[in-house]
Amino acid sequence: MHTLQLNDGHTIPAQAYGTCAIGGWQQDDQYVVDTILKAIACGYRHFDTASLYGNERSLGKAIQASGIPREEFFIVSKVWDNQQGYEQTLTAFEQSLARLQMEYVDLYLVHWPVPEQTRATWQAMEALHDQGKVRSLGLSNFRQQDIEDLLGFARIKPTYNQLELHPYLTQSALCDFCQDNGIVVACWSPLGSGTWSNTPTSEKPIADPVIAAIADKYQVGPAQVILKWDIQQQRIVLPKAESETNMRKNLELDGFELTEEEIAAINQLNRDHRFGADPDTAYADNMAMTVPA
């Protein structure tokens, strides 16, 4: 399992299991528990969830049912947009912790930038860090200006920024900025998009001829090529899969190595194309979305 070191000294597995919309949006039932248990059996120990996903309970149940000690897992959750602010963030975190049935999370993120609340939200997260309830602090969907603003007042530096990132949306300037500031980049929808976007497979990066040719060369799947492209560039990947076959394939990245030319060829596929929301325009829709109780 590939790992990276965060700027606070903690180690993070670079291959994670993304839990958004397992089964369906905000589904939180035995199917979700069983799917996560399959992922654990395949070898995943890094799990990414969020209050908005509505499945923190299922993740907590699966980890308890696995019989594997909590400290062997790396658990990430996030505070949603309309939960931000100082007291609101403290409350949202305690609710997440209760749903997860845990005493701490390894990494807590601001899910999307809400600039007028960022200072208060971050100060609440720093307080949680001081109390030992959160081991590392990070961001999600933050733009360069959002990060620059935060760095102007943060007592504890963010370790991590989770972005929509795939061969059709490489966000190279933002990645360079994060790297220059010691912030690890994680990729949500690393393969282009999930079923939630209703995007035909033929329009996703996994169907791109450049990816297909590299996959044929190494006798691996196109998803493995894309994930390896990220791993070799010191990024974290968060693919979601519900079949055991795909779960295993997404972890099997050690049998081949991309050349610099192949990495460059994939970089050149960038179209600045988002399958998900844009931080520039997501605010109103996000504020209207409800975190399940």
Burial of 106 per CB tally in 10 Å (0-12, 13-18, 19+)? buried
Q: Which of 199, 223, 221 is nearest to 276 (CA)?
A: 199
Q: Quick count: other Cβ atoms within 10 Å of Cβ 41? A: 12
Q: Is 53 a catalytic residue?
A: yes
Q: What is the predicted pLDDT for the residue at 198? A: 75
Tokens of 88: 């609101």
* Residues in CB range of 210: below 8 A, 6 or more apart: 265, 266, 269
Q: What is the predicted pLDDT for the residue at 194? A: 62
Q: What are phi and psi of 267, to 5 degrees?
A: -55, -35
Q: What is the predicted pLDDT for the residue at 219? A: 97
Catalytic residue among 17, 44, 53, 108: 53
| H or E stretch at 148 | helix 144-151
Residues of the chain scoring pLDDT < 50: none
First to last CA, the chain: 35
Q: What is the predicted pLDDT for the residue at 195? A: 56
Q: Quick count: other Cβ atoms within 10 Å of Cβ 6? A: 21
Residue 244 to residue 260: CA distance in whole angstroms? 31
Q: Which CATH class is domain 3-287?
A: alpha beta
Which amino acid does the sequence have at 92? A
pTM of the predicted structure, to 2 decimals: 0.96
